[in-house]
Structure 1
Amino acid sequence: MASPRLETFCCPNRDAATEFVINFQPVFFGAICIGSAGLSLIFSVLQILPKRRAYRRLGQYPLPKPASSSRILFIISVCDILGCAGIIVRSSIWLGLPNLISKISVASDTDLWPEAFCVGSAMWIQLFFSASFWWTFCYAVDVFLVVKRSAGISTIVLYHMITWGLAILLCVEGVAMLYYPSISNCEEGLQHAIPHYVTTYAPMVLVLVVNPVLFSRTVSAVTSLLKGRQGIYTENERRLGTEIKIRFFKIMLVFFICWLPNIINETLLFYLEMQPDVRASSLKNIRNTALITWFIMGILNPMQAFLNTLAFHGWTGFDVDLSLERRRELAWDSASTSIPAAGGYNPVVGSTLLYQSHVQEAKKNATANGQQHSDAISVLSEGNGLRQDDTNSPVYQGW
């Protein structure tokens, strides 16, 4: 799971609320984390691997260059997978070497390895899940700008600078404030811990609050584009708009399910910290609720990796194609032909995606057919698994 409480646990003089939740059934909790993260990692990797059936459908057509939105979705999956890997390693060490973990609580111990592992594993998990949050935010910004500007491919380099720069900066700053003046002698009280919690939850809250607004405005803009294309709103265009709306809804639903328990749990633990006695009988219900949400976090936080791939691409199946020669052949065809692709399969993402071959080519075709915004619609429809007959709609002309 990804919680700032795990970084707080690395301090020997940790607060009573953190001590309470982390020391409650640690073996069972570690096993849950390993099981959830392991399943999520396996199925996520399976989801993004190339599939044979997609190559069969592709046939002799070349591979187009993926739009920025498809790259962002793939990067989000990679960040989630790396976060799951960190959870598996950390929980495995906690279960396999309990003596190493118990030394973290000893303030006078001179062995730095327990604390180094505790801090390193916690920062690894926080960094990649925080990067996942920033990339999710950038995805919402990207699709909104594509529709508003009708610019087929946005600047992916700028997104890399924003996401990784902010993720690393906030992670380092929060941890530095938490472990001041040293890991073995952290300052006590909430004042030094609050910056760490803010830097951890800021990108999460940003996605929860801003992304629904951006997605809603994007859907409204798409609907206007579809209606204004020829002055009519056909069944195919209505279906495309509905599928785009459902896709955005699934992305936000996964995010809310996986991370809302963290906010609830943190609120309860902060309330417990402010009480003179965490184990008072009057706080029993709050303690039980905090423990329940703590275990829910251990299950749902790692599952974001797999659930995100379902929201992005749907279930892509088990028919994995690991043939390097086949993919080289397709890549060679893509590099050696000048015919623009009408659609293709991205072997990185691992699902049947609909791309336009080039922004300028799409704009020329769109202009010839009286359709100025085909590039924007095609970017949003990536990975939706649209049926072949949908491509007969005027929406898809000029791809």
Structure 2
Amino acid sequence: MASPRLETFCCPNRDAATEFVVTFQPVLFGALSLASAALSLSFAVLQLLPKRKGYRRLGQHALPRPASSSRILFIITLCDILGCAGIILRSSVWLGLPNISEHISGTNGTDVWPEVYCVGSAMWIQLFFSASFWWTFFYAVDVFLVVKTSAGISTIILYHMMTWGLAVLLCVEGVAMLYYPSISNCEQGLQHAIPHYVTTYAPVLLVLVANPIFFSRTTSAVTTLLKGRQGIYTENERRLANEIKMRFFKIMLVFSICWVPNIINESLLFFLEMQTDINDRSFRDVRNVALITWFIMAILNPMQAFLNTLAFHGWTGFDVDLSLQSRRDLPWDSVSTSVPNTAGHNPMVGSTLLYQSHIQEAKKNSMGNGHQHSDAISVLSEGKWAFSSSNSSPVYQGW
């Protein structure tokens, strides 16, 4: 899981609230975290592997680069997978070496591996989950810009610079503040811990607040474009708008399920920290809820990797194709929904988004704003809709 409380695991002098949750059933907590992360990582990787059924190879033809929105979704999944790998490593060490924090002290300076493990695992997990949060935010920004302006080339390089720059900056700042003046003598107090918690939860709150706004405005823009194409709003167009709206809803639902428990838990622990005696009987219900959400976090935080792939692509199945050709033609690099589905089935089960290079090509060929808007809308539609060249009317192709 990715909680700033767990980054104080190796601090010998923890605050009372952190000590309360970290020391409660640590073996069970570590086992739940390890099992959830391993399961999520395995299924997330399975989701990304090419499948035999419903997979179209495009032969030796030159393949366009995927749309930036498609690449952003892949990067989010990759960040989640790497975050799960860090949780697996950290939980495994906890279970194998439950007394590792006892080897960190100011007097024993010869054994540096416990400190390296503590700082390294904390930074690894925080970095990749923080990057996942930032990429989720910029995905909402990107789809809004694509639909609102029919942009053919999104600023994917700028997204990389901003996302990784912010993730690294906040991660280094948070860990430096947490382990000051040294890991064996972590400074205590809310004033010292608040900057670290802010760097962890700022991107989470940004996604929870800003993404619904961007998604709502994107959906409104899609509806306007669909109505403006022919001046009417047909059943097919209504189904397309609902499909895009449902996709955004699933993304926000997964994010809320995985991370809202963290905010609840952190609020309760901060409340307990401000009390003179957290073991007072009047705070029993607060302590119980804090422990419940603590173990819920151990299960749901790592599950974001797998649940995100379901929200992005749907379930892609177990029929994996590991042939050499499949490895060359990865699903997110080789499928275009602008190609009609002549085989009678969906070209692939997963994220098959229109490439934005097609939008640029449409502009070069002067095919009109209607076609440009159709391409931009198809970027959001999971490859389930094709647009006829005669009237730009959307045709639903199903899963």
Q: Shared topology, TM-score over 0.5?
A: yes
Q: For residues 287 and 182 of structure 2, what CA distance do their matches in structure 1 show?
A: 30
Q: For residues 52 and 340 of structure 1, what CA distance do their matches in structure 2 show?
A: 18
RMSD of equivalent CA atoms:
2.7
Contact 1:236 1:390 in 2 (8 A): no
Residue of structure 1 in register with 2:281 after alignment:
281
Q: Deviations over 1:54-82 (max 9, x none)?
A: 33476787644210000000000000000
Report the residue type matching 1:206 in the other structure: L
Tell me the matched-pair count: 384
Q: For residues 340 and 17 of structure 1, what CA distance do their matches in structure 2 show?
A: 52
Q: For residues 53 and 67 of structure 1, what CA distance do their matches in structure 2 show?
A: 23
Q: How does 1:233-252 map to 2 (within 5 A)?
A: 233-252=233-252
Distance change in 2, residues 1:199/1:369 (3 Å): closer
Shift of 1:391: 9.3
Shift of 1:375: 2.5
Structure having the higher helix fraction is 1
Moved more, 196-205 or 172-181: 172-181
Is residue 86 of structure 2 the alignment partner of residue 89 of structure 1? Answer: no
Q: How does 1:49-198 map to 2 (within 5 A)?
A: 49-56=49-56, 63-104=63-104, 106=105, 108-110=107-109, 111-198=111-198
Contact 1:268 1:290 in 2 (8 A): yes
Shift of 1:273: 0.7
Shift of 1:351: 2.4
Distance change in 2, residues 1:64/1:160 (3 Å): same
Contact 1:152 1:379 in 2 (8 A): no
Distance change in 2, residues 1:326/1:185 (3 Å): closer
Q: For residues 390 and 45 of structure 1, what CA distance do their matches in structure 2 show?
A: 35
Residue of structure 2 in register with 1:375 after alignment:
375
Q: For residues 388 and 25 of structure 2, what CA distance do their matches in structure 1 show?
A: 53
Moved more, 305-314 or 372-381: 372-381
Distance change in 2, residues 1:371/1:350 (3 Å): closer
Contact 2:50 2:327 in 1 (8 A): no
Q: Give 5+ residue unaligned stretches, structure 2.
A: 342-347
Report the residue type matching 1:351 in the other structure: G
Secondary structure at the counterpart of residue 191 of structure 2:
coil
Contact 2:240 2:385 in 1 (8 A): no
Q: For residues 176 and 293 of structure 1, what CA distance do their matches in structure 2 show?
A: 27
Q: Deviations over 1:24-52 (max 9, x none)?
A: 00000100001100110000000011111
Report the residue type matching 1:355 in the other structure: L
Distance change in 2, residues 1:190/1:107 (3 Å): farther
Q: For residues 3 and 223 of structure 2, what CA distance do their matches in structure 1 show?
A: 39
Secondary structure at the counterpart of residue 55 of structure 1:
coil
Q: For residues 200 and 360 of structure 1, what CA distance do their matches in structure 2 show?
A: 38
Residue of structure 1 in register with 2:221 after alignment:
221
Q: For residues 48 and 197 of structure 2, what CA distance do their matches in structure 1 show?
A: 32
Is residue 321 of structure 2 the alignment partner of residue 353 of structure 1? Answer: no
Q: Deviations over 1:209-248 (max 9, x none)?
A: 0000000000001000000011011111111100000000
Moved more, 50-59 or 167-176: 50-59
Residue of structure 1 in register with 2:339 after alignment:
342
Q: For residues 308 and 149 of structure 2, what CA distance do their matches in structure 1 show?
A: 27
- Match of residue 384, structure 2, among 359, 369, 386: 386
Contact 1:130 1:200 in 2 (8 A): yes
Contact 2:11 2:101 in 1 (8 A): no
Report the residue type matching 2:392 in the other structure: P
Distance change in 2, residues 1:58/1:79 (3 Å): same
Q: For residues 187 and 137 of structure 1, what CA distance do their matches in structure 2 show?
A: 33
Q: Give 5+ residue unaligned stretches, structure 1.
A: none
Secondary structure at the counterpart of residue 315 of structure 1:
coil
Distance change in 2, residues 1:230/1:19 (3 Å): same
Contact 1:11 1:185 in 2 (8 A): yes
Moved more, 112-121 or 132-141: 112-121
Shift of 1:174: 1.1
Contact 2:180 2:186 in 1 (8 A): yes
Report the residue type matching 2:84 in the other structure: C
Q: Deviations over 1:9-36 (max 9, x none)?
A: 3322110100110100000010000110
Report the residue type matching 2:352 in the other structure: L
Shift of 1:367: 2.8
Distance change in 2, residues 1:108/1:268 (3 Å): farther
Distance change in 2, residues 1:185/1:125 (3 Å): same
Report the TM-score, using the length of structure 1 for normalisation: 0.89
Distance change in 2, residues 1:297/1:355 (3 Å): same
Report the residue type matching 1:386 in the other structure: K
Is residue 287 of structure 2 the alignment partner of residue 290 of structure 1? Answer: no
Identity percentage of aligned residues: 74
Shift of 1:340: 11
Shift of 1:153: 3.0
Q: For residues 337 and 349 of structure 2, what CA distance do their matches in structure 1 show?
A: 21
